[in-house]
Structure 1
Amino acid sequence: MTRVVVFAYHNVGVRCLSALLGRGVEVALVVTHRDNPNETIWFGSVQKLAESHGIPVITPDDPNTAEVLAAVEAAKPDFLFSFYYRHMLKAPLLKVAPRGSFNMHGSLLPKYRGRVPTNWAVIHGETETGATLHVMNEKPDNGAIVDQFAVPILPNDTAQEVFDKVTVAAELVLWRCLPGLLDGTAQFTVQDLSQGGYFGGRKAEDGRIAAGIGAKQLHDFVRAVTHPYPGAFSDIDAGRVVIWRTLRAGDTGRTVAGTELYADSDALYLACADGGRLRVLDATLDGAPLDAAAFRARFGNDPIAL
């Protein structure tokens, strides 16, 4: 039976570990993360899944230590897999498995190499993304592609909704290409890195709404950073306004200097610098719900600049 060591976290880790087990692969060791108490944990637990199957689990702060290397070597894996594990694995670990080390990435490589690829794809208004299994080396997300599967990004999909699709795509990719990996017939395709770029991680502060942003760009930005992420926000004299959900709503017929929030009838709207308009479906002011009635009670009928 083929033996593997799995580095995994998050829903992609859960579903890909399940796929390995479903294909009858022997998982000799799982390396995962301890949940951060300061992070909103909205995803499944790799550790719980592994323990339910009697698989040994370790949760090191740093995987690139002599102790972790020794544990992986003792597991004698044929393959090493990484499924949404948050640390880069260095050469000593990657060389342990004689039949190769592979990573599942949440984009259609070579596009969106690096961190939080789903969020970046939504921010940039992409109409599709997906999951890619590729050879793992010391440079992030640039190894040869084993297989990939595309999923659509609909115009109002949030990043979490897209990530749910990417999770299914990752499971499908792994399930489809595992037989070829196991019997040695899988074909690898070298990436043309000029067809994509590298993107870094995102912080809560990166949710600040940019001055002069257009309506489509703002709509894409809002849906990319909404729940379970910290949200798109602007700080005004009255506090922090967070825009959680919007819909495209035509044009305003006027030009504004930046982005204005205003009430019209029973709804909130955003007027954008390019003349576009968004209907605001969900917003808060300092954590309290902000709808048209609450807006008028606080600010009257005049728009406020974000």
Structure 2
Amino acid sequence: MKPRAVVFAYHNVGVRCLQVLLARGVDVALVVTHEDNPNENIWFGSVASVAAEHGIEVIRPADPAGAELSEAVRRARPDFIFSFYYRHMLPVEVLGLAPRGAYNMHGSLLPKYRGRVPTNWAVLHGETETGATLHEMAVKPDAGAIVAQTSVPILPDDTAQQVFDKVTVACEQTLWRVLPALIAGEAPHLPNDLASGSYFGGRKPEDGRIDWSQPAERVYNLIRAVAPPYPGAFTDIGTARFVVARARLATPGTMARLSTANLPPGLHVSDNAFFGVCGDARAIAISELRIERDGQQTAVTPAQFVQLTHSSRHS
């Protein structure tokens, strides 16, 4: 008999891991997902659409602790519960409705980067590696026993989206590899040593504000960590807000040409190109700068930037 599962899922990881369960022959009786937020940039795939294509019932409860959700899960009679980038913690009583266990896929190498947006935090902190971890769900977030992990590299110029794409594949590979053993009751359950790890909360758009007095490497990591499709790292000049959409650390040759030691930290234009001077006198070469107005971002040229900042400073 096929194992039966209830799946809580959202985002690209939710899409891919749901497809892995179906490809492995799991009977997915119910999918629980989120309503898309109209104020959010929806650049990722739809779990609800995948479920609909396979004729699976989908619900989108506003309250994960409500009686409606627990009753729906109880009716589904799951052997397993899986959570793939579902954005709410599941109540203990819901987890207890799956006699063969409840498992979550997390986008880091636990116990490092427990909590929210782990990929963005890993890039922000200049990590060279991250990955995916399937683990048992517990009362604390990302605290249960580790079942399987897959690592991926973070290259020096990778943005958070590029790393997230790798993590999505790592999630798919992790689940595909360990699922047969999990179904057979033979998967390892290794200690998740929280004391040796780290926990981080969510990030807000305001957290993308650039402090140009910081060293260039730290500023560049922030730019990479929140680059579009995330809200972006920004700086305000007068009444204008500019978002650094694409950039990289300047090469020594570029540094010599710009003579950054004579310039204050902040955004500048030279040779019809953007660059930012940081607190250690190193520079960041900016290949795409945007101005943000009413929540919308539009690319600007160096000439437009000079005109906009002149008028903004004197308005």
Shorter-chain TM-score above 0.5: yes
Residues 251-291 of structure 1: CA deviation (Å, up to 9, x unaligned): 64655796321122131111111121110011123444233
Using the alignment, how far apart are the partners of 2:182 and 2:123 within structure 1? Answer: 32
Using structure 1 for the length normalisation, give the TM-score.
0.94
CA-to-partner distance for each residue in 1:68-99, whole Å, 9 max, x for gaps?
11110111111100000000001100111011
Distance in 1 separating the partners of 2:151 and 2:98: 29
Contact kept, 8 Å, 2:212 with 2:278, in 1: the verdict is no
Report SS of the residue matched to 2:45. coil
Structure 1 residues 62 and 221, CA gap change in structure 2 (3 angstroms): same
Separation in structure 2 between the aligned mates of residue 278 and residue 201 of structure 1, nearest angstrom: 27
The correspondence for 2:282, drawn from 276, 299, 303, is: 276
Q: Does 1:53 align with 2:54?
A: yes
Q: What is the one-letter code of the residue matched to 2:114?
A: R
Q: 2:273 aligned with 1:267, yes or no?
A: yes
Give the aligned length: 301
Q: Which moved more, 1:185-194 or 1:166-175?
A: 185-194
Aligned positions of 1:31-50 closer than 5 A: 31-50=32-51
Q: CA deviation at 1:155?
A: 1.1
State how far apart, in whole Å, the 1-side matches of 2:263 and 2:89 are. Answer: 44
Distance 2:38 2:300 in 1: 29
Q: Is the 8 A contact 1:265 1:292 kept in 2?
A: no
| Corresponding residue number in structure 2 for 1:133 | 134
User: 1:212 touches 1:257 (CA, 8 Å); kept in 2?
Assistant: no
Q: Which residue of 1 aligns with 2:27?
A: 26
| 1:168-217 C-alpha deviation (Å, 9 max, x unpaired) | 00000000000010001111111111221110001111111125111111
> What's the offset of the Cα at 1:56?
0.8
Q: Give how far 1:238 is off.
A: 4.6
Question: Quick one: distance in 1 between partners of 2:75 and 2:35?
Answer: 22
Match of 1:289 in 2: 299
Task: Between 235-244 and 50-59, report the one with greater CA deviation.
Answer: 235-244
Aligned equivalents of 1:119, 1:110: Cα separation in 2: 16
Task: Report which stretch shifted further, 255-264 or 54-63.
Answer: 255-264
CA distance in structure 1 between the aligned counterparts of 2:60 and 2:260, rounded to whole angstroms: 56
What is the Cα deviation at residue 218 of structure 1?
A: 0.9
1:294 maps to amino acid? Q
CA–CA distance in 1 between the matches of 2:307 and 2:22?
Answer: 57
The letter for the 2-side match of 1:231 is G
Structure 2 unmatched ranges of 5 or more: none
RMSD: 1.7
Paired with 1:282 and 1:258, the residues of 2 have a C-alpha distance of 21
**In structure 2, what is the Cα distance between the partners aligned to 1:70 and 1:299?**
57
Distance verdict in 2 for CA 1:165–1:256, change over 3 Å: farther
8 Å contact kept, 1:246–1:280:
yes
CA distance in 1, matches of 2:250, 2:209: 22
Q: Which residue of 1 aligns with 2:97?
A: 96
Letter aligned with residue 263 of structure 1: V
- The reply on whether 1:247 has 2:253 as its aligned counterpart is no
Check conservation: 1:134, 1:146, Cα contact below 8 A.
yes
The AA in structure 1 aligned to 2:76 is A
Q: How does 1:185-204 map to 2 (within 5 A)?
A: 185-204=186-205
Give the corresponding residue for 1:123: 124
Mapping of 1:142-157 within 5 angstroms?
142-157=143-158
TM-score by length of 2: 0.91
Q: What letter matches 1:185 in structure 2?
A: E
CA distance, structure 1, for counterparts of residue 309 and residue 102 of structure 2: 58
Deviation digits for residues 88-138 of structure 1, max 9, x if unmatched? Answer: 001100111011000000001011000000000011111111110000011
Structure 2 residue identity aligned to 1:116: V
Match of 1:231 in 2: 232
Tell me the distance in 2 between the aligned counterparts of 1:232 and 1:245: 10
Moved runs in structure 1, 4+ residues, more than 6 A? none
1:22–1:211: structure 2 CA closer, same or farther, 3 Å change rule?
A: same
Structure 1: 5+ residue stretches without partners: none
